[in-house]
Amino acid sequence: MKHTPGADTEFRIHVRDLVHRPGTHREYSRELTVAEALGTDVIGVPAGAAATLNVQCEVVTDGIWVSGTFAAQATGECGRCLDEVKLDLEVPVQGLFLYPDAPREDGDDSDDVFEFDGESIDFEGVVRDAVVTSLPFTPLCDPDCPGLCDQCGARLANDPDHAHEILDPRWSALESVKDSIELSNKEES
């Protein structure tokens, strides 16, 4: 499901009473349920997860400056052993939401400048960007996770002494001779 700009979401906060009143400041706190997953295929805040959005809105000449935090729990899988990873997130969110009639400057193309309709601010894009950039590229269940055995897939944390005898390939011809001798001895007995 793609987000439609202007659609009502839990991330939308109505700020009409603040518009064009420089110096006005208001705080908002919202408990919400994430409608669409936020993150990557490896780790993210799943759809249906509980989250908290706490923001301060301060009216400036050309728009509303927003700063605050988004808190939720991300889930994914360990990049080494594939166990489930749970990560408590509290990421900063910030941005300047420009009025539709505000003059644009060359620097207004930065990542923290957004437009809004003059009625309400939709934080979903700002939150999505903040969450994705704060998530680890390779999540780990433990920084010292040894992972899985590359030979058989055994979880190495459960068996730290796990090992396989690795034969030098130059000796493999002799190994087959040994196996055939052992087979002959068994057939003779």
Q: What is the pLDDT of residues 44-86, one digit of tens each?
A: 999 999 999 999 999 888 888 999 999 999 999 999 999 999 9
Q: Is the confidence at residue 11, as pLDDT, over 70?
A: yes
pLDDT score, position 106:
61
Spatial CA neighbour of 162 closest among 171, 170, 153: 153
- Spatial separation of the C-alpha atoms in residues 90 and 93, rounded to whole Å: 10
Q: Could you tell me the two tokens for 32?
A: 């919400």
pTM given for the model: 0.73
Mean pLDDT calculated for residue range 21-36: 89
Q: What is the pLDDT of residue 142?
A: 92
- Using the Cα atoms of residue 151, residue 155, residue 157 and residue 160 in order, give the sign of their dihedral: negative
> pLDDT tens digit string along 97-143?
888 777 766 654 566 788 888 888 888 889 999 999 999 999 999 99
pLDDT mean across residues, the chain: 84
State the pLDDT at residue 8. Answer: 53
In sequence order, the β-bridge partners of residue 84 are 77
